[in-house]
Structure 1
Amino acid sequence: MKHARQTLPRYALAVALIALPLLLALLGPHLAGSAGPRSVSFSAGEGHWLGTDFTGRDVWRQVLLGGRSVVLVALAATALTYLIAIPLGLAAALTRRTWLEESLMRPLDVLIAVPSLLLVLLVAATLTPGPVGLTVLVGLAAVPDAARVVHAAAVEISSRPAVEALRMQGESWWRTAIGYVARSMRRILAADAGIRLTGALYLVSTAAFLGVGVQPDAADWAVMVDRNRTGLFLQPWAVVVPALLIAALSMGTNLLFDAALQKRDRWKGARR
């Protein structure tokens, strides 16, 4: 009971931090309505309860429209990362051919030495801005690090007697890799997913802040922070609100995964 009471506040805080950004990202475009006439840049009041942005658009409407691009691109990029990293890490860990393992993992070590943001910026400079391209770039940029996490965990699990027994029974590679090794890695992958999603949010937001992958006047929380910072002291809400929403989503995601993992560990301990 004591452990449950300690975990509950973390769950509540995580849900509170995540709820508003997610609701705005999912429902905001449906609630935004039509754009009214533009007003004076960085003005307060005049029917705009959060003021106007650098082009005179209503800040609240831009907030409602700007979350979907950040949240959905980060989620899609994280999913793409694991779709590639899990099979790659499992293949390298379960192969009995050292040359194949080295061929799969050594190139990833080289890519890890290149900062993810720099890689995104270099590739994006040659592409047309767009959410699909940004999703692919952010997802691929995280593959080397995620694949190494999967590989390290799978190497330890593949040395267990149960894996050798499955091999001796003639079980298929898929049954051994997915049915046993991947299932045994669920806790590690869940912990890594929180970090990976936060990293994707950081990359997507930073890329958008720098004008990569989105139009310079797009309804996007990160773009709002960048484009409205010149009027921070005239109309701060155009910067403060989207910045707080991005920060709340990142912090809440990590807290939620941490609380879920702690609850699972205590539940397993109680069963024993």
Structure 2
Amino acid sequence: MAITFSRKDFRGLAGVGRLGQLSLAIILLAAFLAVFGSSLAPFPPDQADLGNAYVTADGTHWLGFDSQGRDLFSRLLVGARSSMLGPLLVVALAMTAGSVLAVVAAWRRGWLDSVISGIGDIVFAFPGLLLAVLTAAVFGPSQLSAALSLAVAYTPYVARLVRAAALRERSLSYVEALEVQGSSAWVICLRHIVVNIAPVLVAEATILFGWATLDLAAISFLGLGVQPPQADWGVMVSEGKTGVLQGFPAESLVAGTALVLVVVAFNLLGERLAEVGT
């Protein structure tokens, strides 16, 4: 049986509207900086010179210097990599684990569905940031441990949404027809159900990326994620606290603005994609 899709599923960029397209442009810029930011940085991001501490912007140093005399523009560019790679790892792990569990639960139903849903409810009730704190206490602070703990915390969110979409798809007549034709459960799930709920998966992954970006920045701000002197937007906001109190808010301001723009862009684009895919 051939798979058919509604026209609404593939309206492309026009379907998300101008606000969605602007959000996508911001996301693509952040992705570009994550890949090429280190090459574009005009100065080494960790090169400190206390004689330049809090020196304001000029024609060479566009954003000025931080408390240790490091070029803020270079640190902003280089920090995009860790600020984007961490959420990417979280989303990849959570979407994969959550989608697999959800599709299996929706297909098998019965006791297996109840067990998966019950375990998900238990994990769902455990705050992701608290899990990250506990993980850092056991394994030490790092971006990897923070990303893994958030992926575990996000998996039940993904599983709930994907399970609902998979159950709707499972109840359609074409699934029964495929079973009658002798198609295996793996073929039906992977080649039909998962493909048909792909718009839901893409929208959820986009929104989840925004959440992960914000949560990982908060974890780095607390000193449990990316560790100084590595350039990272969350670390920059944290290290800029002293400057804010002394009247030099540039470091926290530029990093915080970058985070806000990226998080809002992912959330807005995710909402538009969800509207297009429903």
Q: Same fold (TM over 0.5)?
A: yes
Q: Report if aligned partners of 2:133, 2:224 keep a CA contact under 8 Å in 1.
A: yes
Three-state SS of the structure 2 residue aligned to 1:132 is helix
Matching of residue 54 in structure 1 with residue 67 in structure 2: yes
Three-state SS of the structure 1 residue aligned to 2:138 is coil
Matching of residue 218 in structure 1 with residue 230 in structure 2: yes
Q: Find 2:36's aligned residue among 17, 27, 50.
A: 27
Separation in 2, partners of 1:107, 1:7: 35
The aligned residue for residue 127 of structure 2 is: 115
Q: Find 2:27's aligned residue among 12, 18, 27.
A: 18
Separation in 2, partners of 1:211, 1:67: 18
The aligned residue for residue 74 of structure 1 is: 87
The aligned residue for residue 195 of structure 1 is: 207
Structure 1 residue 6 displacement after superposition: 8.9
Matching of residue 83 in structure 1 with residue 96 in structure 2: yes
The aligned residue for residue 106 of structure 2 is: 93
The C-alpha deviation readout for 1:74-115, integer Å capped at 9, x for no partner, is: 11210111111111111111005x222212220110111111
Amino acid at match of 2:97: I
The C-alpha deviation readout for 1:171-204, integer Å capped at 9, x for no partner, is: 1111111122112212222221222111111211
> What runs of 5+ residues in structure 2 fail to find an aligned partner?
1-10
Separation in 2, partners of 1:160, 1:5: 29
The aligned residue for residue 6 of structure 2 is: none
Indicate how the Cα distance of structure 1 residues 36 and 127 shifts in structure 2: closer, same or farther if over 3 A, else same.
closer
Q: Find 2:192's aligned residue among 180, 205, 226.
A: 180
Structure 1 residue 7 displacement after superposition: 5.2
The aligned residue for residue 132 of structure 1 is: 144
Matching of residue 38 in structure 1 with residue 49 in structure 2: yes
Indicate how the Cα distance of structure 1 residues 264 and 99 shifts in structure 2: closer, same or farther if over 3 A, else same.
closer
- Report the count of equivalent residues: 262
Indicate how the Cα distance of structure 1 residues 133 and 108 shifts in structure 2: closer, same or farther if over 3 A, else same.
same
> What runs of 5+ residues in structure 1 fail to find an aligned partner?
266-272
Amino acid at match of 2:247: L
The C-alpha deviation readout for 1:16-56, integer Å capped at 9, x for no partner, is: 43344333222111122435551343232475332221222
Indicate how the Cα distance of structure 1 residues 37 and 176 shifts in structure 2: closer, same or farther if over 3 A, else same.
closer
Three-state SS of the structure 1 residue aligned to 2:70 is coil
Report the TM-score, using the length of structure 1 for normalisation: 0.86
What is the 5 A alignment of 1:251-270? 251-260=264-273
Separation in 2, partners of 1:89, 1:242: 36
Report the TM-score, using the length of structure 2 for normalisation: 0.84
When structure 1 is superposed on structure 2, of 129-138 and 198-207 the one drifting more is 129-138
The C-alpha deviation readout for 1:130-153, integer Å capped at 9, x for no partner, is: 333333222222111111111121
Q: Find 1:106's aligned residue among 118, 121, 126.
A: 118
Q: Report if aligned partners of 1:78, 1:200 keep a CA contact under 8 Å in 2.
A: yes
Amino acid at match of 2:188: T
Q: Report if aligned partners of 2:135, 2:145 keep a CA contact under 8 Å in 1.
A: no
Matching of residue 244 in structure 1 with residue 257 in structure 2: yes
Three-state SS of the structure 2 residue aligned to 1:126 is helix
Structure 1 residue 126 displacement after superposition: 1.2
Q: Find 1:234's aligned residue among 240, 247, 251.
A: 247
